[in-house]
Structure 1
Amino acid sequence: MSVFSQVSVSHLLTENLPNPISIDNKTPRLSWQLSSPDRSELQTAYEIQVSDRPGGKPSAWNSGKVASEQSVWVTYGGTALQAGKKYFWRVRVWDNKGRESGWSKPASWQMGLLTPADWKAQWIQSAAKEDASQPSPLFRTTFTAKNGIASATAYITAHGLYEAQLNGQRIGDAYFTPGWTSYNKRLQYQAYDVTSLIHPGKNAVGAMLGSGWYRGYICYDWQHNFYGSDLSLLMQIIIRYDNGRIDTIASDGSWKTATGEVRHSEIYDGELIDHRQDQKGWSLPDFDDAAWTSVQPASYPKDNLVATGNEPVKKQETFHTGKLLTTPKGERVIDFGQNLTGWVILKLKGRAGDSIRLSHAEVLDKAGNFYTDNLRRAKAQDVFILKGREEETFEPHFTFHGFRYIRIEGTAGEINPDDYTAVALYSAMPKTGEFECSDALINQLQHNIQWGQQGNFLDIPTDCPQRDERLGWTGDAQVFSRTAAFNRGVDNFFAKWLKDLAADQKPNGAVPFVIPNVTGNGTSAGWADVATIIPWNLYLAYGDRKVLEDQYSSMKAWVEYIRGQAKNDLWNTGFHFGDWLFYRPADDNDGRSAVTDKYFIAQCFYAHSTQLLINAATVLGKKEDADAYSALLRRIKDAFLNEYVTPDGRLVSGTQTAYVLALEFDMLPEATRKKAAARLVQNIQDYNYHLTTGFLGTPYLCHVLSQYNYTTVAYKLLLQDTYPSWLYPVKMGATTIWERWDGIRPDGSFQTPGMNSFNHYSYGAIGDWMYRVVAGIDTYEDGPGYHHSRISPHPGGGLTSAAADLETCYGKISSHWRMTSDSLAIDIDIPANTTSTVYIPAPEGGVITEGGQKLSAVASIHIDGVEKGYLVLGLGSGSYHFLVRADYQEN
């Protein structure tokens, strides 16, 4: 008989998803969370049961009692799993107090289609000659379902983008499916539970397709048909009955096709919808499709099909009431108050043939007029044509816009802003992190960081959502990846994108500028290093070894590419972007531009990628590789010292970025590091506490300052509100992160319209310092995924409080501090089945208590010593309230 339990198990995930229905990993990983009111709660053993029927015996797997603390990424170890089949699982645990939990509530997963032979469907397309300017095709068929339907699953993919319907209802709530991948190598399909949409008797199913990334206009030279010129559909529905029978409805030559109301759709240009061409009820069983034509079956491959393992794009926040403006030019404009990515849903009543055009913009110019020059060739316009008589609703399908403002043209009479609703769309990554402090401008900066991420994490990490680009730039993604992993659960999102990186990596190991690669050849230091940086950051944030296993060959190939380009271990060849968009004064008569030698930067990233490869090899037990690349790393650093550093430790480039990279990537001998940090600080002071870094130096700037005990300087940089600084755009009214430090100049004029996005998340990488240093929540390599966390808050900068909360794989971890003139209160939450090393500021003569007691009287606290003015504590799970009483001074 077990001891009465106070530990429970919840939050069951399969492959990091709740109850997924298209798993193609034949040995899926299972995760759960523990909860207990007690402190220092640890798991010591678990038991998992898996059945092929709800509430049934563990027919697929019974792990038995396994002595292990592991509660995330536990690999399934039962019988072979069958394509399309659903499995149910539950788990119970034993803790370090000898207690046994009850069984968790059951969770489930369903296997996807695992081989090309599992697809009974045929690719189908319109027999008419197609091009990107033609209307979106519709496809449909009818079928008969029998009584006793137990379940039904639809599997769908397309060349192009699709929206599917069944009996007049939209299938699922995902948008821009099947997503953007390297289509010819990896084409995702989606699975949907459609049990509730099917009824006994006659049913109808169909889909509408759009050009999307597959064949639409994409990239700079207005290229199209990049992956193919066709729009094609592949779809099958598997119906399972109570008596065990299975029916399969599959796309084939019997389906019919026509066109409908979407007359033109492009990602950059927008969408034209003509309600007069609406095929009303086209997905209903009794629709008359006599005028429709037969489809044409096609023989496209199915061996590139993969299940979708990342969260799809969904509708998110809505903005119902914008502010109606009339510009000095007399244009009618609605301001939604937030720069976002998505579209506008419009309600309108008028005569047949009347049209309305919505144009989209991020900003108004200094005179208050609608500004679209920075969109370059992207039209970003949606045009709606009315059918007439009754009120009509318009909503795009296969386009998206980056905007805060819309301009309304074509409609007469007064405009009611309530008829226009802005909808944000982005990948449905779970929200994980929150940060707030006592400074309103910093809180707005955090808001801008989050919205910059949301607006650009639309299936891939785009650079910007508004102009004729919207590409998966590798440099932008890598500099922001750690910040991203705080704000949202991005492990599935990035794992998917990294597979496309590996797929598009060149045979010689070079990594293209953008992923998926639609720009051709080309690679650059700091951009291509995404191949090593993001896998390692994901491992630290989520503790998933598989991302390292999956990407290891890609990581190694990238380092080997650099080795092949280097001469005597010095990478001083080829094209590089360098410290992109670094500080350049408008009038640089005295040569003050912060130019950092591009080959200097390349050598630093060569060392960094090699170090991360060593880290991955060590985690994966690849000792020979770890030893070999450790020897290479020593040579890389020696070559750096010989080429770029004087005997006194001065660098050939005296910029902030040069000193930051050299210190962050451990390129300098220990004896010269303090001098180098002091020179960095002197540079910052010379610029009156302004930063001059670009894309590559900015993420590490404040981290290096804190590492070398200059947190006060880091705070001054963070709180600087004149150009160039993080808060300058905030004071200029920004609601997202800008591409340039001075996208709008102090006089209201704009930077060059050829490259001036107002939603470009890269400089939002400062968020990582806010979370890991100001609030103090960080990881350790010996317990990745916050299994062993570090909590080390750094009060300062005149802030009186800061608070961060992060949902980890194990549960919520929190660090809140509040400072008064004579005390510092710190509240900490540590999730069950984890431990934390906590650093409490310990001013000389101060008294520290927890929950009103001396620390020595609290059994759950282990005092490990004092380090740099901090008391170091070892803590188990639970909630803690520390109070530091003293004439408190900032640390």
Structure 2
Amino acid sequence: MTVANEPRIVGLRVGRRRDLSVAASPRPPVSWLVEAPAAWEATRAELRIDGGTTVAARPYGILEDWPFAPLRAGAAHRLEARVIGVDGTASAWSEPCEIRAGFSSGTWAAPFLHLAGPRRTAQPFLARREFSVADTVVAAELQVATHGVHHARLNGVEVDDAVLSPGWTAYQHRLPLHLTDVTALVRAGATNTLAVEVAGGWYTEAYGFGETAERFYGDQPAVAPLLRLRHRDGHVEEIRPDDRWRLSGDGELVSSGIYAGDEIDLRRRPHGWEAAGFDDAAWETPALSEPGRQPEVIDAEPVRRIRPLPVAATPESDDPECVLLDFGQNLVGRVRFRVSGPAGTRVVLRHAEVLEGGRLSTRPLRAAAATDTFVLDGAADTVCEPRFTFHGFRYVEVTGYPGELDPADFTAVVLHTDLRRTGWFSCSDERLTRLHENIVWSFAGNALALPTDCPQRDERLGWTGDAQVFAPTAASLFDADAFFASWLEDVAAEQRARGGRVPTVVPQTLGRLGETMAAGWGDAVTVIPTVLHERFGDQRVLERMTDAMRAWVDAVADAAGPERLWERGFQYGDWLDPTSARPDKAKTDPGLIATAYFARSARLTADALARSDDASAAGRYAALAAEVRDAFVASYVTPRGRLASDAPTAYALALEFDLLPVSLRSAAAERLAFLLRAGGYRMATGFLGTPLVLDALLSNGQEWAAERLLLQTMCPSWLYPLSQGATTMWERWDAVRPDGSLHPSGMTSLNHYALGSVGDVLHRRVGGLACAEPGWAQVRIQPWFVSALEHADVAHDTPRGRASVSWERDADIRGQIRVRAQVPHGVTAIVDLGDRAPFPVGAGTHTWDATTPVRTLAPIGVDSDLALIADTPDACAVVSRSIAGHSPEMAAEFDAYIRWVPGSRLRDELAAVSAPDALVTCIDGALAALTH
């Protein structure tokens, strides 16, 4: 960020979304940034609407309350702002923010258009309407509600660049309304044509697994387009859905499905149907139906085409009839390609994340066909791209392509909700930098209309547990406030329909499976609003969700009973604990996990109520949190700090959720480190333990254990997937086995962000940049000087401006480190470099020198203590790889039973698996080389 020589306001906007200033309500929040010299101090801001009324505001605008009279539906205004200093100086007025009030007044009365006699389930259709526009029209807005997804054109021109509009919400509770300013596309004084292509999308998709899959919302798509034309004299004319529209089910889109893909027959294209003068006499009069509920504007960015990716390679295929394309990156989107060929030629594209034996591996897709089919019409240089689907893939199999395929004619089009990137991290270890980018790719791909678990198989659902554990990392990477705030509206709506119980997926389309009341999943309703308040200063969403937070905690209290222990009913627990053969049978007792989350959510609810000035209710929930904490200690904690479930996740939860007496924290952290070392510092946590384990170590004096865990390369670990070519995060730690084979389970996704929750630790700990007060009013600069790293860099566009921290070791004196930081205007920072007491600094650029202890490594060999070997970087991996090189079966046996604990020699453990002398000697030499 360039610091201004003079104070100024930039980034003025209304609402939460960043791409447009569309007011989704009569009183939208207002935000802006102040850029000024570090020494200049702001005292207030002033806002001015339409060059007239001026009001005072706080100087730093983070989702501030609307200060003017409520907006009227459809109104347009110009908003400006300036900032005033304590010395009385004022900045210039900002660039005006053009506001459009994008909400409806009164009751939505536009009916839905749909085919009167569809010939098949989920049949796509085309809808068109010609109309005359007077030359007095000065503005036009298109409002579209859809049971499904749509793509609109006005006079043959796309109305906007959104795709899969209007996205997916819990339709039975919240029907989205997509708004577009189409003033520039209207032809005043002429005949105009509004054309809409409609498919079922999420509305007609079948949800569930195998034979249990069924449609949840409806069998057929429908659309309600309403064009509002504002005339010079102020009156509004509406082009509404009625019997003057004409529909056709015989367009080029033959079929479409989120899971299945699109089938497009270009020979069926009705040329000219989007323009005036097209003969639609053979088209049918639409059936009309009432909307059933009031559509509402969604205050979040839409899905867009984000970027193109070229083909990276063309792997050899064992099928001469197909060509394989490798885009070099597991991504979410679809493929656009150019082709020429005879009419009737069928070009088929199948998608997958991985290859097996020279072919696409479609087994992980389960029932999702993930196939796009194009039937050519004989035209030359035709550009083909699916309309209403998306896939999770890296590889594409092309069959039926006419002539020789040129990879340059194929492009992957990346799709996701158009979130603004706000966080960056890099360091001297390229593996950690790549891990971070894998995390970015996974969240971006699964941030498609709502936060999903995976983008490729017959699922792609809003699992609440995944979103809960990943929300802090999402907030470190993207401006995700609008995205999550919108989804929380669906969470609250689904919860209200269940008397306080939060389903495990939102929107809830999974029948009984989705109705499970599970700890760590339902707690999304308390955790995510808290994250949005802390990271984005979003007090409004916290206040709006307080009732939902209370309802969830009350429901859990009923389930737990007077003992305050939530031990009844099914729990997902520490899902996909790698030490367990079954995903739901983790080593940590599910009752311990559920009770820990019960205590945390009660505390978060009390804190939210306190911020809302409801002291009485805050006191009740604080007392409840204390009761649950006491019950947790009495039932699960021994007097010496051991937990009833002697597993890493149990200790991580107890430490990070502050459930232990201060006197026992050190013992619990030591035990956590002991257990991790005993496992060779391989991951031993699932979805709920993984986000917490590094913080639990680092906050309690176990930095070396944290470093060994973070930099582990053996399976399971954060870095292991990189050795298998991973470009996104995996659902399972061993989704691809060390021998290159896919995990045999039917639940294997190579793009799942939950285990990427370590991304927030990379920013806060390794980079050393953390939010210390809501909205980044204060930052904490506290780098973790990982001994194996030479440097690290982190930057974040906070709601108050760009903040950054970088640190680098002295090339000659390893214990000397230079730290640099940028603190935004109006922000204070607390700096903790470890070698002195923490100290405050103000805005500006800062540089400090720090000293850190240098760890020396003792020589090791096969006669060394097992704990000493485990504490040596890469030693466990060297032993395992050496044994595997001799015998994979012996390595599997050794890795399964070895416990790297003090008091035993490696030579004795090797003898237990009958390792030959030559192998022992080889391992001894390899270990000795690590510390030379």
**TM-score, normalised via structure 2 length:** 0.88
Secondary structure at the residue paired with 2:838?
A: strand
CA distance in 2, matches of 1:456, 1:32: 29
CA distance in 1, matches of 2:235, 2:825: 45
CA distance in 2, matches of 1:772, 1:133: 47
Q: What amino acid sits opposite 1:399 in the alignment? A: T
Which residue pairs with 1:461 in the alignment?
Answer: 451
1:755 aligns with 2:747: yes
Change in Cα spacing, 1:706 to 1:525, as seen in structure 2 (3 Å) is: same
Secondary structure at the residue paired with 1:74?
A: coil
1:356 aligns with 2:347: yes
> Contact 1:5 / 1:99 at 8 angstroms: preserved in 2?
no
Question: Of residues 795, 812, 827 in structure 2, which corresponds to 1:805?
Answer: 795
Which residue pairs with 1:826 in the alignment?
Answer: 819
CA RMSD of aligned residues (A): 1.9
Secondary structure at the residue paired with 1:826?
A: strand
Moved more, 690-699 or 96-105: 96-105
Which residue pairs with 2:849 in the alignment?
Answer: 883
Q: What amino acid sits opposite 2:819 in the alignment? A: I
Which residue pairs with 1:595 in the alignment?
Answer: 587
What is the Cα deviation at residue 777 of structure 1?
A: 1.2
1:143 aligns with 2:131: yes
Which residue pairs with 1:723 in the alignment?
Answer: 715
Alignment of 1:316-465 (within 5 A): 316-330=306-320, 331-365=322-356, 367-465=357-455
Alignment of 1:653-732 (within 5 A): 653-732=645-724
Cα deviation per residue 1:555-578 (whole Å; 9 max; x = unaligned)?
110000000011321111111001
What is the Cα deviation at residue 642 of structure 1?
A: 2.1
Which residue pairs with 1:536 in the alignment?
Answer: 530
What is the Cα deviation at residue 181 of structure 1?
A: 0.7
Cα deviation per residue 1:593-630 (whole Å; 9 max; x = unaligned)?
96111111111100111111111111111111111111
Moved more, 453-462 or 410-419: 410-419
CA distance in 1, matches of 2:853, 2:635: 49
What is the Cα deviation at residue 16 of structure 1?
A: 2.8
> Contact 1:12 / 1:18 at 8 angstroms: preserved in 2?
no
Secondary structure at the residue paired with 2:600?
A: helix
Which residue pairs with 2:839 in the alignment?
Answer: 873
1:278 aligns with 2:266: no
CA distance in 2, matches of 1:388, 1:837: 67
Which residue pairs with 2:875 in the alignment?
Answer: none
Change in Cα spacing, 1:40 to 1:775, as seen in structure 2 (3 Å) is: farther
Change in Cα spacing, 1:441 to 1:22, as seen in structure 2 (3 Å) is: same
> Contact 2:82 / 2:92 at 8 angstroms: preserved in 1?
yes
What is the Cα deviation at residue 262 of structure 1?
A: 0.3
Change in Cα spacing, 1:19 to 1:360, as seen in structure 2 (3 Å) is: closer
Q: What amino acid sits opposite 1:322 in the alignment? A: A
> Contact 2:670 / 2:702 at 8 angstroms: preserved in 1?
no
Moved more, 317-326 or 79-88: 317-326
> Contact 1:800 / 1:818 at 8 angstroms: preserved in 2?
yes
Which residue pairs with 1:76 in the alignment?
Answer: 66
Which residue pairs with 1:471 in the alignment?
Answer: 461
Secondary structure at the residue paired with 2:401?
A: coil
Which residue pairs with 1:793 in the alignment?
Answer: 783
Question: Of residues 277, 291, 296 in structure 2, which corresponds to 1:300?
Answer: 291
Which residue pairs with 1:526 in the alignment?
Answer: 520
What is the Cα deviation at residue 187 of structure 1?
A: 0.7
CA distance in 2, matches of 1:423, 1:248: 36
What is the Cα deviation at residue 380 of structure 1?
A: 0.5
Question: Of residues 305, 309, 322 in structure 2, which corresponds to 1:315?
Answer: 305
> Contact 2:122 / 2:199 at 8 angstroms: preserved in 1?
no
Secondary structure at the residue paired with 2:285?
A: strand
CA distance in 1, matches of 2:5, 2:724: 56
Cα deviation per residue 1:835-874 (whole Å; 9 max; x = unaligned)?
11122343xxxxxxxxxxxxxxxxxxxxxxxxxxx44221
Alignment of 1:585-624 (within 5 A): 595-624=587-616
Higher-strand-fraction structure: 1
Moved more, 68-77 or 617-626: 68-77
Secondary structure at the residue paired with 1:325?
A: coil
Change in Cα spacing, 1:120 to 1:635, as seen in structure 2 (3 Å) is: closer
What is the Cα deviation at residue 371 of structure 1?
A: 0.9
1:574 aligns with 2:569: yes
Which residue pairs with 1:514 in the alignment?
Answer: 505
CA distance in 1, matches of 2:353, 2:730: 11
Unaligned 5+ segments in structure 2 are 857-932
CA distance in 1, matches of 2:45, 2:416: 37
> Contact 1:740 / 1:756 at 8 angstroms: preserved in 2?
yes
Secondary structure at the residue paired with 1:660?
A: helix
Cα deviation per residue 1:25-61 (whole Å; 9 max; x = unaligned)?
221111111111x22444211111112xxxxx42xx4
Q: What amino acid sits opposite 1:831 in the alignment? A: P
Change in Cα spacing, 1:644 to 1:885, as seen in structure 2 (3 Å) is: closer
Moved more, 23-32 or 510-519: 23-32
> Contact 2:41 / 2:86 at 8 angstroms: preserved in 1?
yes
What is the Cα deviation at residue 753 of structure 1?
A: 3.8
What is the Cα deviation at residue 632 of structure 1?
A: 1.1
> Contact 1:549 / 1:620 at 8 angstroms: preserved in 2?
yes
> Contact 1:165 / 1:205 at 8 angstroms: preserved in 2?
yes
Change in Cα spacing, 1:462 to 1:403, as seen in structure 2 (3 Å) is: same
Alignment of 1:203-214 (within 5 A): 203-214=192-203
Change in Cα spacing, 1:94 to 1:370, as seen in structure 2 (3 Å) is: same
1:32 aligns with 2:32: yes
Which residue pairs with 1:193 in the alignment?
Answer: 181
Question: Of residues 113, 131, 151 in structure 2, which corresponds to 1:124?
Answer: 113
- Show structure 1 runs of 4+ deviating over 4 A: 885-890
Secondary structure at the residue paired with 1:446?
A: helix
CA distance in 2, matches of 1:886, 1:676: 25
Q: What amino acid sits opposite 1:761 in the alignment? A: Y
Secondary structure at the residue paired with 1:227?
A: coil
CA distance in 1, matches of 2:22, 2:288: 25
Which residue pairs with 1:164 in the alignment?
Answer: 152
1:558 aligns with 2:552: yes
Cα deviation per residue 1:624-656 (whole Å; 9 max; x = unaligned)?
111111111121112112221222221111110
**TM-score, normalised via structure 1 length:** 0.91
Which residue pairs with 1:547 in the alignment?
Answer: 541
CA distance in 1, matches of 2:114, 2:397: 37
Between the two proteins, the alignment pairs up a number of residues equal to 839
- Percent identity between matched residues is 36
Moved more, 205-214 or 124-133: 124-133
CA distance in 1, matches of 2:137, 2:807: 56
Change in Cα spacing, 1:885 to 1:743, as seen in structure 2 (3 Å) is: closer
> Contact 1:219 / 1:469 at 8 angstroms: preserved in 2?
yes
What is the Cα deviation at residue 248 of structure 1?
A: 2.0
Secondary structure at the residue paired with 1:423?
A: strand
Which residue pairs with 1:851 in the alignment?
Answer: none
Moved more, 330-339 or 555-564: 330-339
CA distance in 1, matches of 2:852, 2:319: 61
1:14 aligns with 2:34: no
Q: What amino acid sits opposite 1:837 in the alignment? A: I
CA distance in 2, matches of 1:635, 1:802: 42
Change in Cα spacing, 1:77 to 1:19, as seen in structure 2 (3 Å) is: farther
CA distance in 1, matches of 2:607, 2:265: 56
What is the Cα deviation at residue 283 of structure 1?
A: 1.1
What is the Cα deviation at residue 116 of structure 1?
A: 4.2
Secondary structure at the residue paired with 2:545?
A: helix
CA distance in 2, matches of 1:885, 1:742: 39
Q: Which has the higher contact order (CA 8 A, sep 6+)?
A: 1
What is the Cα deviation at residue 449 of structure 1?
A: 0.3
What is the Cα deviation at residue 218 of structure 1?
A: 2.4
> Contact 2:110 / 2:291 at 8 angstroms: preserved in 1?
no
CA distance in 1, matches of 2:284, 2:290: 19
1:218 aligns with 2:207: yes
Cα deviation per residue 1:791-815 (whole Å; 9 max; x = unaligned)?
1111113101110110111110101
What is the Cα deviation at residue 242 of structure 1?
A: 3.8
Secondary structure at the residue paired with 2:475?
A: helix
CA distance in 1, matches of 2:119, 2:298: 28
Secondary structure at the residue paired with 2:726?
A: coil
> Contact 2:255 / 2:264 at 8 angstroms: preserved in 1?
yes
